[in-house]
Amino acid sequence: MTQNPADLPALARSDAPAIDDGGGPRQGQRKPDPHQIMIAARATLIPEAESGLWSVKRCFLPRAVFVPKMGWVPTGTWTTLFRWTLSTLNQKFGEGVMNDTPNELKTHLQFMMQARGRVLVTGLGLGCVVRGLLANPRVDHVVVIEREIDVLKLVGPSLAGPRVTIIQADALTWVKKAPRRFDCAYHDLWTETDEGEPDLQIVTWI
Cα separation, 102 vs 85, in Å, equals 26
Give the tens place of pLDDT for each residue, 129-178. Answer: 999 999 999 999 999 999 999 999 999 999 989 999 999 999 888 988 87
- State the burial class of residue 172 (Cβ atoms within 10 Å of its Cβ: 0-12, 13-18, 19+): buried
How far is Cα 201 from Cα 192, in angstroms, rounded to an integer? 13
pLDDT digits (tens, 9 = 90+) for 96-126: 899 999 999 999 999 999 999 999 999 999 9
What the chain holds in terms of domains, given with CATH numbers, is 31-36+102-205 (3.40.50.150), 44-99 (no CATH)
pLDDT of residue 203: 66
Q: How far apart are alpha carbons 48 and 153 in whole angstroms? A: 12
The angle that helices 102-114 and 34-41 make with each other, rounded to 10 degrees, is: 120
Please, what is the Cα angle at 147 between 85 and 112, to 5 degrees? 100
For the cut 70, the answer to whether the pLDDT of residue 15 exceeds it is: no
3-7, 142-146, 193-197: which has the highest mean pLDDT? 142-146
Burial of 153 (0-12, 13-18, 19+ CB in 10 A): middle
State pTM to two decimals.
0.81
Give strand pairing partners of 61. 76
Q: Do strands 117-122 and 184-187 pair parallel, antiparallel, or not at all (unpaired)?
A: parallel
DSSP 30: P
Report the candidate in 94, 102, 151 with the shortest Cα–Cα distance to residue 122.
151
